[in-house]
Amino acid sequence: MQTRTLGNSNLQVSTLGLGCMGLSHGYGPATDRQQAIALIRAAFDQGVTFFDTAEIYGPYLNEAVVGEALAPIRDQVVIATKFGFTFGDDNRQQILNSRPEHIRWAVEGSLKRLKTDVIDLLYQHRVDPEVPIEDVAGTVKDLIAEGKVKHFGLSEAGVQTIRRAHAVQPVAALQSEYSLWWREPEIEILPTLKELGIGFVPFSPLGKGFLTGAITTDATFGSDDFRSKVPRFSPEALQANQALVVLLGQIARDKGMTAAQIALAWLLAQHEWIVPIPGTTKLHRLQENLGAATVVLSGSDLQSIGAALEQVTIQGDRYPAALQARVGR
């Protein structure tokens, strides 16, 4: 697999990374630990060198799985993780916390779980309105000077926050949702990242599975599946948004590809500093997703996709209200 560099940083990663969250968190019961480890190592064997996790995934469980899986090949991979929450006594309550002392505490825990002495890319998971972003960036800058972190990242931050953080400690990458059915970053975020030389790491590049075509209009989700709370996955929205999947499927068939591969290839074609991190729990889906790295979309292909997108109005918010309030700050 080819590599890409995240913005003006010297952080070089595989063209596609692996989002590891779903192996432990968010989409139902956690995957069997050994199966999860096997999938992560299979991704590496197929050229993936960029692995994304966070302390909140579990909490803590996913970092431990990623750490065990990558320990034998630690010097050949880039590990990204995130801080920014306190979890309460039951480890379920998620309270924003980016106070400098908590960042340091979180990093020490992540280092142990990841079985490493340095974090390649450390993101603030969500902006904490109680802590000036300059204090957050300054703390990470100190951690970089101490050799515990290599690069600083932000997740779901707004333009002004990105600028303020970048002025204190250069931001290597922003991680936010971006896909064929969530294109809001194109308005302000992508131009700002291009201006500042910051890489972009889209999560949910397959629309939490919707863009693969595998989620039918009558799909239901368990209470332990995050999508059960997402307005965009309500029965009404699934019915309305199916038109996008139909169009995507038609384009994919014409190209001899799958819908997932077209969706990922479209993201890769937007800018050379974009590195999507699709996640999966299945080996055959992993292989399908990674196949997108070899798909080249021509200018006319991109125009056709753009024209098709204009025919569809996506319905439903991407987050429930409480979580939407935490993004774009």
Contact call for residues 100 and 139 (beta carbons, < 8 A): yes
* Contacts of residue 51, Cβ cutoff 8 Å, sequence gap at least 6: 17, 18, 20, 40, 43, 66, 70, 77, 78, 79, 80
At 277, give phi and psi (nearest 5°). Answer: -130, 70
At 88, give phi and psi (nearest 5°). Answer: 75, 175
* Contacts of residue 76, Cβ cutoff 8 Å, sequence gap at least 6: 44, 49
Catalytic residue among 57, 60, 123, 178: 57
- Residue 57: active-site member: yes
Q: How far apart are CA 321 and CA 127, in angstroms?
A: 16
Q: How far apart are CA 276 and CA 239, in angstroms?
A: 27
Q: What b/e string do you get for 226-264 counting C-beta neighbours within 10 Å, with b at 16 or more?
A: bbeebebbbeebbebbbebbebbbebbeeeebbbbbbbb
Q: Whole-angstrom distance between the N-terminal and C-terminal Cα of the chain?
A: 35
Q: How many CB atoms lie within 10 A of CB 128?
A: 22
- Backbone Cα Rg of the chain: 19
Which residues, listed in sequence order, are joined to residue 3 by a DSSP beta bridge?
14
Which segments of 46-146 does DSSP mark as H helices, in order?
61-70, 100-113, 133-145
Active site amino acids: 57
